[in-house]
A and B are shown apart, each in its own frame.
Chain A
């Protein structure tokens, strides 16, 4: 409390109302949690709230994309034994499955990266440890997303 206008009663000036007037003989105090000029400006924004929301929205979509992926790759039509270059070529001939895999790649990588960011924040106690681990995480995430995207868009079934 470093205001020069503090009155003898110890009550600071209230915005928009004089401390005393003929109609207000008793000193006024601010309503609790009222935003005033003295309220510190937030420097953080709503990033964590959007992160929280993203985890739930991407999670719902990923349940469909990933369980569908597991069903196709590991269960239907001989399970894992049919997977090979020819199988991949057959699926990526269709733009639908290209988009499916692209959406799965981006959402899963961002969902996982945000989850690991939370884990690092929880358990790495020193500030420079957090910095290095998150630097490594973001580098690996960007690399993997770009590599996967490149592979989906430049796939060539006649590579030989």
Chain B
């Protein structure tokens, strides 16, 4: 470990890094999402035109990435709360992180068909 750094590596630091990166990404998406939804106040045609881009295969992959970021941030956020408020939280933080990662993998596999199925039908026909 290099001297003079607060970064300790391992599960604790990398989960913190991932929480930060996913949080910033989600926040930037939120700005865009409020703006695109605001188009319902302009006209149905303009709204539907912009929402059509959400249904293209490339943006569907970005949506899958958004779901990945949100699910990790949500599950790891619950782990952070457990570390802060549960008396045994700090002792089990590593086990909780690997539970979070495991649950995240399962949910992401479950999200493949619902989120990407539409794009797959568009690309390869149904």
Contacts and interface: CB of A to CB of B under 8 A. Distances in A.
A79 B118 contact: yes
B5 interface: no
B111 A75 contact: yes
B24 A115 contact: yes
Given A74-B114, A151-B38, A115 B77 contact: no
B78 interface: yes
Contacts of A89: 40
Q: Does more than half of chain B's interface fall in helix, strand or loop, or is it mixed?
A: helix
Contact of B44 (A62, A66, A85): A85
Q: Does more than half of chain A's interface fall in helix, strand or loop, or is it mixed?
A: helix
Given A80-B118, A81-B118, A105-B34, A151 B40 contact: yes
Interface residues of A, number: 39
B124 interface: no
A6 interface: no
Interface residues on B, range: 35 or more
A146 B90 CA distance: 39
Contacts of B114: 74-75, 79
Given A74-B114, A85-B47, A148-B37, A109 B84 contact: no
Contacts of A2: none
A117 to B, nearest CB: 11
A148 B34 contact: yes
Interface string B25-62: 01100110011011011011001100100110000100
Given A63-B74, A155-B40, 5 more contacts: A70-B70, A84-B44, A108-B30, A112-B23, A150-B41
